[in-house]
Amino acid sequence: MKLHKEGIIPITVALCLFALCLYLYFRFVTLPFYVDFFVVVALTVAPFMTVRFFRVPRRHPNLLENAVISPADGTVIAIEEREETEFFKDKRIKISIFMSVHNVHVNFYPIAGTIDYVAYHPGKYFIAHLPKSSCDNEHNTVVVSKDDGTQVLFRQIAGFVARRIVSYPRVGDQVEQATEMGMIRFGSRVDVFLPLESEINVHIGDKVRTQKSVLAYL
């Protein structure tokens, strides 16, 4: 496991605040040993969670040409036929993956191909579980086209806690399946829009892993 470069500043800030709080506590507060122990444990939670959040897993990608690999770790919270109004402007199968603060938040390309479309949209910060968060929340939309012309759209959506979407793709880029495309800081969600004829390979409630889990076959 390694730490993501986007975590350098947050981790540094968390460690500095931890050290400052620890210094002030022991400098100005005198309490029994058992209280000191619980205070130290409590103060450790924030830097520990910050470091854990920015971890990047070391995995052997499950590379399958005709498959859509999950772009995120998390739980499948929706599988439904929906109108996609931003790019396709027709009906697609939408698979929504919710990422809690305990999940890895680095996102990876679900298929290999060419980046046809990238668009960032500022927005609100509704709870990521809510359907309206897909369009109303801050989000970033990416469309990848396979060599045969099949297109897959996936949308990074900021949640109630998330306050920054990091996205690296540019239109025209050639990308490989299961390689990094960005991340969402803290709790959030990813929606994937697939052709109606796709063979869905997951169910609502399934736990999926980026680079590994097959969402569907094209």
Q: What is the pLDDT of residues 119-133, one digit of tens each?
A: 998 866 555 455 554
Tell whether 52 and 147 lie within a shared domain. no
Q: Residue type at 191? A: D
Cα–Cα distances (Å) from 133 to 17, 94, 137, 158, 174, in that order, read 32, 14, 5, 8, 29
Diameter over CA atoms, the chain: 70
pLDDT of residue 130: 55
Number of structural domains (the chain) is 2
The per-residue pLDDT for 195 is: 97
- Max mean pLDDT range (10-14, 50-54, 77-81): 77-81
Residue 134 pLDDT > 60, yes or no?
no
Whether residue 188 lies in the annotated active site? yes
| 47 and 82 inside one domain | no
Q: Which of the four pLDDT bands, split at 50, 70 and 90, describes residue 25?
A: confident
Q: Are residues 102 and 46 in the same domain?
A: no
Q: Give the separation between CA 32 and CA 193, rounded to whole angstroms.
A: 57
Q: Over 90: is that where the pLDDT of 24 sits?
A: no
pLDDT band of 138, cuts 50, 70, 90: confident
Rounded to the nearest 10 degrees, the angle between the axes of helix 33-53 and helix 8-28 is: 170
**What's the confidence (pLDDT) of residue 199?**
97
Q: Which helix (H) or strand (E) holds 148?
A: none
Which of 70, 134, 188, 198 is an active site residue?
188
Q: Which pLDDT score is estimated for 142?
A: 97
Model pTM score: 0.81
Residue 186 within a domain: yes
Please indicate, yes or no, whether residues 22 and 106 belong to a single structural domain of this protein. no
* Average pLDDT of the residues in 53-70: 88
Same domain, 27 and 80: no
Q: What's residue 160's pLDDT?
A: 60
Element at 84 (helix H, strand E): strand 74-84
Measured CA to CA, the distance from residue 59 to residue 162 in angstroms comes to 25
